[in-house]
Amino acid sequence: MDGPKAVESRVAALEESRLAIRRLAHELNQPLTAVMGNAELLAMDTADPEMAASIERIVTETQRMAEIIQRLAAEARKGTGETAPYAA
């Protein structure tokens, strides 16, 4: 059976993991936002249909990545009392 110290240690390790995931999500979102924003700007400025399709794929996939990162961060916040950061 686990003693109180073992349980406390596991809880601390879980919180460290959650914090690491939240930090990683934040770090991944920064360059992802730049890629997505620049791709959206390129999409508005291209007349080449093939290029437009490639850019649209970049936008779609970066949006998908952003959703995955948001889900990871939400899972890491579960049980901590934290809420999602404000999204404009």
CATH code of the domain in which 30 resides:
1.10.287
**Rounded mean pLDDT, 7-25:** 91
pTM (two decimals): 0.73
**Rounded mean pLDDT, 44-57:** 94
- Domain of 70 in residue numbering reads as 4-77
pLDDT over 60 at 29, yes or no: yes
pLDDT of the residue at 88: 41
Is position 88 within any domain? no
Local confidence band at 78 (pLDDT 50, 70, 90 cut-offs): confident
Is position 85 within any domain? no
3: left (phi over 0), alpha (psi -120 to 50) or beta: beta
Is position 50 within any domain? yes
Is position 8 within any domain? yes
- Through-space distance between the first and last CA atoms of the chain, rounded to whole angstroms: 48
Is position 70 within any domain? yes
Whole-number Cα distances in Å, 35 to 25, 70, 76: 15, 17, 25
pLDDT of the residue at 77: 85
Domain count along the chain:
1
